[in-house]
Amino acid sequence: MTPEAAPKKDFIRSRIASDVEAGKNGGKLHTRFPPEPNGYLHIGHAQAIWLNFSVAEEFGGKCNLRFDDTNPGKEDVEYVDAIRDDIRWLGYDWDDREFYASDYFRTFYDFAVKLVRKGKAYVDSLPAEEISAYREAQKDSPYRERSVEENLDLLERMRKGEFDEGTHILRAKIDMRSPNLNLRDPAIYRIRKIHHDRTGDEWCIYPMYDFAHGFSDSIEGITHSLCTLEFENHRPLYDWFIEQLEVFHPQQIEFARLNVSFLITSKRKLLRLVQEGHVSGWDDPRMPTIRGLRRRGYTPASIRDFCSNAGITKVNGVTQLVVLENAVRKDLNATAPRMMAVLEPLKLVITNYPEGEGELLDAVNNPEDPSMGSRKLPFSRELYIERDDFREDPPKGFFRLSPGTEVRLRYAYYVKCEEVVKDANGEVVEVRCTYDPATKSGQEGAPLRKVKGTLHWVSAPHAVEAEVRLYDNLFRVPAPEVGVEDFLENLNPDSLRVLTGCKLEPELGAAEVGQNVQFERLGYFCVDQDSQDGALVFNRTVSLRDSWAKVEKAAENRG
């Protein structure tokens, strides 16, 4: 593991630091992550999780997990389980502090009754469209002045199920002329005759999000309620509810949502990708969900590091995808073993190498980390190299293998191409080389003559076969939602390329699902869950920072 850097400072951390130092809330800090269980978590949620849990850690506080399950019908236990699992995988734990807004339905209802008693809420019987029109026109509903008794009676009968959906709602009585739309007598309770996963059929009226959310924070004693900017103009409403009921007042602080170029972070749109079959599921490795990133080969540490680097701000912006990719490169560079695999194989025969078993060569597992040790790599007369590493007619500046040139085989010998074998269609099916035994890697006195490049390879009789899936961005443009009627217009038709018959060094035959590995020169990969005994499947997590061509180019420029 790479030692993880401390989270970057941001305005929320500074604010919390001064609150804690000033002894506010008895110097205690309590945050929460409040997902609605109506979809899988994505990279944006990861940042909210990281923020809430990491500030709690930093300031010796606590962080709750609270499911905001006030909208039955759209919510599902499938999502609850997945959310828990994803947060744990990210490396956070809420101990026994797992809560559900639905646990507070009784309290919310009591709060609503109190508001009615105070003359601060009323039952409105206008149809929904008229309510919006009146709100737009800053006009009072004719039901606004109903008596407390009548309101109490109607609310009670709403609760008992005497009315149909849409016939009455309970509204806060605030100010129909407020410049803030949220304060124009917002809805508190609506009738919904729908089964709830946790409360069953106990309720047929459900609290609105704005009513339930702030009170949930209050009930749990959340000191700092961190949320995204779109709730900034809801804060006066939350404050109003809290003041009316004279309950604990959490401090809401808003921050900008995380947006990442080429990625979509809206559950609704992600759901469409899944439902319409543009991806294989929520965990498709091209999805920006935690599950997708995980299956793609992202590590928890890399995602936490990304969240810190992307930073927390007050201004909406877009974080470049490369920041996410670099986070996983950095982690895997230090932690993933480096092995050899040939994705598009071309046979290479060393004509002057003895027939038979061949030999075992020493290969280092990760030069960044000597503690990862070394392994024995089988070498023999017949190898595979990458088809792309050979050109019969090399363009200028091609530093790999071509007729008459000599290259180094990683961890092995120099080989020189003497001959090519073609099939009936004129396609090269084999290159025949000679090797120089005096050039053995690591051997004392090996000749220092210059070779043009170093190739990766796999011994043919020892190779393990695998399928390798290469991914490109799911969308062709950095801002898929901009300038089109439907973001699906921007889908990249070539976001997945599946290669079969790839050749891997034998050590990889024992790789387990989820294992990360660098294939030398090709990128970081991990074993996919579709793997079966003897039929491994790898996903490319990300390519190496620079393409090999660029590295070679730089070497050439240095002379």
Minimum CB separation from ligand ATP for residue 481, in Å? 12
Minimum CB separation from ligand ATP for residue 248, in Å? 19
Q: Count the Cβ atoms, other than its own, within 10 Å of residue 8.
A: 12
Q: Which residues bind ligand ATP (CB under 6 A)?
A: 34-36, 44-45, 47-48, 227-228, 257-258, 265-267
**35 or 207: CB nearest ligand ATP:** 35
Minimum CB separation from ligand ATP for residue 33, in Å? 6
Give me 549's structure tokens. Answer: 């061509």
The DSSP output letter for 3 is P
Tell me the backbone φ, ψ of residue 236, rounded to 5 degrees: -60, -35
Closest CA to 345 of 428, 280, 281: 428
**257 or 432: CB nearest ligand ATP:** 257
**235 or 521: CB nearest ligand ATP:** 235
Minimum CB separation from ligand ATP for residue 49, in Å? 8
Spatial distance between the Cα atoms of 37 and 77, rounded to a whole number of angstroms? 7
Minimum CB separation from ligand ATP for residue 253, in Å? 11
Spatial distance between the Cα atoms of 500 and 498, rounded to a whole number of angstroms? 7
Q: Classify each residue of 527-537 as buried b or exposed e, where b means 16 or more C-beta atoms within 10 Å of its C-beta.
A: bbeebeeeebb
Q: Please spell the DSSP secondary structure of 26-42, one letter per residue.
A: GG--EEEE---SSS--B
Minimum CB separation from ligand ATP for residue 188, in Å? 19
Q: What does the longest C-alpha to C-alpha distance in the chain come to?
A: 102
Annotated catalytic residue, options 257, 330, 410, 553 = 257
**36 or 153: CB nearest ligand ATP:** 36
Minimum CB separation from ligand ATP for residue 266, in Å? 5
Three-state DSSP at 433 gives: strand
Within 8 A by CB and 6+ apart from 338, the residues are 364, 365, 366, 367, 517, 518, 519, 520
Annotated catalytic residue, options 36, 58, 465, 467 = 36
Closest CA to 467 of 506, 500, 428, 420: 500
**90 or 342: CB nearest ligand ATP:** 90
Spatial distance between the Cα atoms of 501 and 464, rounded to a whole number of angstroms? 9
Specify whether 329 is catalytic: no
Secondary structure of 387-418 in the HEC alphabet? HHHECCCCCCCCCCECCCCEEEECCCCEEEEE
Specify whether 118 is catalytic: no
Q: Classify each residue of 318-345 as buried b or exposed e, where b means 16 or more C-beta atoms within 10 Å of its C-beta.
A: ebeeeebbbbbbbbbbebbbbbbbbbeb
The residue to which tokens 């190299």 are assigned? 385
**218 or 402: CB nearest ligand ATP:** 218
**130 or 197: CB nearest ligand ATP:** 197
What is each CA distance from 194 to 29, 56, 161, 191, 413, in whole angstroms? 37, 37, 11, 9, 72
**482 or 510: CB nearest ligand ATP:** 482
Total residue length of the chain:
559
Annotated catalytic residue, options 32, 159, 267, 294 = 267
Specify whether 36 is catalytic: yes
> HSE (CB half, 13 Å, CA atoms) of 396?
0
Within 8 A by CB and 6+ apart from 78, the residues are none
The residue to which tokens 């809430």 are assigned? 52
CB-based burial label for 509 (10 Å; 0-12, 13-18, 19+): middle
Residue 324 backbone class (left: φ over 0; alpha: ψ -120 to 50; beta: rest): alpha
Spatial distance between the Cα atoms of 292 and 529, rounded to a whole number of angstroms? 12
Minimum CB separation from ligand ATP for residue 53, in Å? 12
Minimum CB separation from ligand ATP for residue 483, in Å? 20
Strand 464-471 versus strand 536-542 pairing type: parallel
Spatial distance between the Cα atoms of 357 and 254, rounded to a whole number of angstroms? 66
**267 or 469: CB nearest ligand ATP:** 267
Minimum CB separation from ligand ATP for residue 487, in Å? 14
Residue closest to ligand ATP (Cβ)? 44
**159 or 267: CB nearest ligand ATP:** 267
The residues carrying an active-site annotation are 36, 257, 267
